[in-house]
Every structure is written in C-alpha cells, then in structure tokens.
Structure 1
C-alpha cells in the first residue's frame, strides 16, 4: 500500500532539484502532485527556451505512472498563491503543502562586504513565500480537519567555513514561523514539520565555487561519513507527509547523517 494514496500535494518550487525529488517521491507513493513555480527561469526566457522545466518534471512523473499537474505561480504573489490553492482544493482538497522556493541568497561574500539588499533578500523572500503558501493551504486544511505543511532547511549553528549571507537568518525566521503555525493549526488537525539535512552535495550546480571543498566539508561533518542525498529527501518527506507520521508536528526531522546533533 502506498503512503500517500488519494492525497493532493502542492510542491512550490517543483522544478528545482529538491522540489523534483520531493514531487517524484510523493507521486511514487500515490499522491497527485501539483507542481507550482515559475515555469521558466529568466535565463531560459532570454535564451528563448519554450519547454517548461515544470512540465519536464511532470512528464517524467506521468511516464512513471504518477499523476501531476503544473501551474505557473509566483510564490511572492498573494493573489496567485491563493487562487492556485483554491483550484487545487476544488479537485479534492489540499492535503500536503511544501515550499521549496529558492530564497535568492548570495553566498561567498563576507557580511562586511555585502549590500543590504543581498543580505535581506533571502529573509524577506523566505518569510513572505512561506507565509503565503502556508496560509493558503491551511485555510483549506482546516475545513478538512487534516493536512501537512512541510518546511525545508531548519535553523543551525553559524557557518564558520563559508560566507552564507542572510541564509541562516532566513532559516531561523522560518523556524519561528513554523512553531507558531503548528500551535495555531494543531487543534484543527493540521501538522507542521521542518526537514533538515545538514547539506545536500547534489544541489550544488556544476562550476559552483569551491564545490569539491564544500562537498567534502558537508560529508566530513557527518557521523556516517556521507551526506543525505536527494533520494533521501524525497523518501523522508513522503513518510513525514503520510499518516504513519500522524503524531509528528511542531518538530524538526533531522536526517543529516549525524551532522546535526539534537
């Protein structure tokens, strides 16, 4: 029996590496996946590329026997987020919502050399998109008396080896939001959980500065001598979103291979 049979899952940022992994795992476990995001990046638009990255992901899911729909949704646009959630709810409700939108963070620049705009962008983007997407889903989940809202990243200690700009601040802000959302939605049967990995080397793009050193650093901090993979992210997300994890809320799921100690 599949874990998410009969569930509707919205995955914001479904064309990204993590979003693709989560959406694929949800579909494999029987959920109907609604991939939301900007269908093309700005670079792709400039290059004249017409095929949507979201459609590519959805096509692979359908080819494997899963169900997937796509929609162009700017997660910073309040009206667009609400209208999309309403459309999904009209197809049987919103059971799962996970926001994997990129925060637009600038890394590699020391704080003393960073502009205010670059520092605050990931914080503002993370807080705004998570609030809008969680609120849109929660309104429908309350009516059903059930639902799961997943966040990704979690708070952590300061990063000593690399300059990460406002990224950690954004994660801490989301954790504060997650705690409050869980407290307010718990009485309605809605769960809220953050997924933490400690870093996923596969998400680093080719040509990323100091990529090899970063990969070694991520794996070197773990107790298992290896980092979480994208497949791990999908598997854990599917479990946490399922009824088998129905007692889990107001919590963080740590699958960092021991890099993060609770």
Structure 2
C-alpha cells in the first residue's frame, strides 16, 4: 500500500477535511493519530477507520498549547516508533461577512494568530523528531488566496492567514529541506461538501465555486484525501516548498 508502515498525526482529525485525510491515510496503510480538542468526534472518525480495517489513535490536544503539542509528539513516537507526516487542518477561527473597516482588531487577527501559532508549533514539534531520521512531511491546507473574492464578500483576516501560512511553508521547506523533510500545502479553490446545509446562500455559493472551475467539478473531500496520501508517499519525494493545486482550474499557477 502507498503508506504502509508510515505514521501520521492529523491535527483537526475530527473535521471534514481532517477526517477525509485521516481515512485516506489509514486506507493506504498508515497508522493515524487523530488530534483535536473534542474526544467524542475524534472517536467517531477513529471508529470508522477501525471498522474499515485501519489503525487510528485518539488524543485530545490543543494545537495552540506549546507544551501539549510537544508532549503529544513525544507520545506518538513512543507509541508508534516514528513520525512520517504531520498534517494541520485545525479550524482557524475566522470571522467573515463583516467589512474590514467595521471589524474589531481581535476578529481580524484571530485566524492569522491561530493559524500561525498552531502551524508553527506542530511543525516545530514534528521537525524535531523527523530531522534525526532525515525524512518526513509537514502538510497544510489552503494555498494562494484569491483576493478578488473581496469584491463580493468580506473575508476578514482569512486571506492574510492564507498568505501567512504560504510564507511559513516556504520558509520551513527551505530550512528543513537539507534534512530530508518536505513541506507542502494543498490548494482546492473551495469544497462544496464542507458548506453546511443550513448556511444562508449555500446553493449560490456552491454554484459560484463550481462555476470557477474549468471542468465544472470542484474537488471533493475524497480528492483531498487521495492527494494528501500521495503527498505523504515516497512517490512525492521530489515535491516540497510547493502548493499542490487541486482546484480543477479555479486557480491557475
């Protein structure tokens, strides 16, 4: 299998994107450690993975807590013997729909601070155990932000957060590459499946995301999981410092 004997942590593993990645990793043979703040929802994903024949562990971890992140990575290595992939897709606490000039500074900075802090902490903890083995993947979710969205909808600090994470990805890739560690983000252009059914204007948003693509078929959660599995595999050993574009042409490189 593509990820046989590999070990991965998925921060935000109970969410729609994190769950999709965790399921794909387990399906391809990886031992998955689901990390998040709510045990019950993490357990649901772990039970589903186990029911399909995979292996998943559950750990309650606040990815914004420096000590908790460091200690968790140590436990993962003690439990599974290694760490091959660290995936961070936790919620970034963004506030949208309010014009920038009407927002509080706390709401505007919330996604930026949350994303940068959590992704720095999880990447640093992973790198410290990956460097001695001279291999590993640090994977984020986001990619280049389409600022034309702001003409139609107020996104708050979300776009700044995306750009900040991309800068972090480049810096980490440059520093960790000589140690055999790859750093990648996935860029989807939007996932209709993640939009709640009760979200006002859901149909219009799904149509907008679909119309942006060339194929008329936006990426699905299953697509995200499979590409994430490829990124963590030895087949992607030359892919680092890059954003993998799975936007179906919604964004051109």
Q: Specify every segment of 5 or more residues in structure 1 that has no aligned partner in the other structure, as ranges.
A: 41-51
Q: Is the 8 A contact 1:39 1:71 kept in 2?
A: no
Q: TM-score scaled to structure 2, two decimals?
A: 0.97
CA distances 1:155-203 after superposition (whole Å, capped 9, x unpaired):
2221132211111100100011110100110001000011000000111
Three-state SS of the structure 1 residue aligned to 2:32 is strand
Q: Does 1:161 align with 2:156?
A: no
Choose 157-166 or 243-252, whichever is displaced more.
157-166
Q: Does 1:205 align with 2:196?
A: yes
1:113-124 map, 5 Å = 113-124=102-113
Counterpart position of 2:89: 100
Three-state SS of the structure 1 residue aligned to 2:205 is helix
Three-state SS of the structure 2 residue aligned to 1:220 is helix
Q: Specify every segment of 5 or more residues in structure 2 that has no aligned partner in the other structure, as ranges.
A: none
2:126 corresponds, among 128, 137, 145, to: 137
**Separation in structure 2 between the aligned mates of residue 150 and residue 59 of structure 1, nearest angstrom:** 24
**Separation in structure 1 between the aligned mates of residue 152 and residue 77 of structure 2, nearest angstrom:** 44
Counterpart position of 2:245: 254
CA distances 1:78-99 after superposition (whole Å, capped 9, x unpaired):
0000000011112211100000
Counterpart position of 1:173: 164
Counterpart position of 2:23: 24
Counterpart position of 1:49: none
User: How far off is 1:211 after superposition?
Assistant: 1.2
1:1-262 map, 5 Å = 2-39=1-38, 52-90=40-78, 91-158=80-147, 159=149, 160-262=151-253
CA RMSD, aligned part only?
0.8
**Separation in structure 1 between the aligned mates of residue 152 and residue 216 of structure 2, nearest angstrom:** 18
User: How far off is 1:38 after superposition?
Assistant: 0.6
User: How far off is 1:209 after superposition?
Assistant: 2.2
**Separation in structure 2 between the aligned mates of residue 130 and residue 211 of structure 1, nearest angstrom:** 29
User: How far off is 1:113 after superposition?
Assistant: 1.8
* Aligned residues between the structures: 250
Three-state SS of the structure 2 residue aligned to 1:11 is strand
**Separation in structure 1 between the aligned mates of residue 203 and residue 107 of structure 2, nearest angstrom:** 25
CA distances 1:57-107 after superposition (whole Å, capped 9, x unpaired):
000000000000000000000000000001111221110000000000011
Three-state SS of the structure 2 residue aligned to 1:71 is strand
User: How far off is 1:114 after superposition?
Assistant: 1.4
**Separation in structure 2 between the aligned mates of residue 261 and residue 191 of structure 1, nearest angstrom:** 23
Q: Is the 8 A contact 1:3 1:242 kept in 2?
A: yes
Q: TM-score scaled to structure 1, two decimals?
A: 0.94
